[in-house]
Structure 1
Amino acid sequence: MTIPDIEEFEERAAIAQYDGGLSRSDAEDLAARAQGFPDADRYWEWLADYVIRRGLP
């Protein structure tokens, strides 16, 4: 799996929330699924694990 694109995630979630009328939670789940994750919780868990275990360049 490639490193998630945080900017894309945030932009997609914001659009889904404000233009689509979704709750923030549902909008983040939608944005996470667009990047191949089952939901936002798994997205953030993966990203946190990557930062802690592998480090960022």
Structure 2
Amino acid sequence: MSRIPDIDAFEERAAIAEYDGGLSRREAENLAARAQGFADADDYWQWLADYVTTKKIPA
């Protein structure tokens, strides 16, 4: 099953976790990525990079 990220939800969750939750930006992005089924923020950003470069939904 492919995970299709919701960029708006990712950014909103990360911002709330960072500013209201006191997490670092990295920790907040990891939290937001995991909420969408990704292992961490690196996995999330890699998915987006792959999509942009191939114009196909990564497996």
Moved runs in structure 1, 4+ residues, more than 2 A? Answer: none
Structure 2 unmatched ranges of 5 or more = none
CA RMSD of aligned residues (A): 1.0
Aligned length: 55
Hey, what's the Cα distance between the residues in 1 that align with 2:53 and 2:4? Answer: 14
Q: Which has the higher contact order (CA 8 A, sep 6+)?
A: 2
Secondary structure of the corresponding residue to residue 16 of structure 1: helix
Q: CA deviation at 1:2?
A: 3.7
Aligned ranges 1:30-41 → 2 under 5 Å: 30-41=31-42
Q: 1 or 2, which has the higher helix percentage?
A: 1
Residue in structure 1 matched with residue 18 of structure 2 by the alignment: 17
Q: Unpaired segments of 5 or more residues in structure 1?
A: none
Give % identity.
Answer: 73
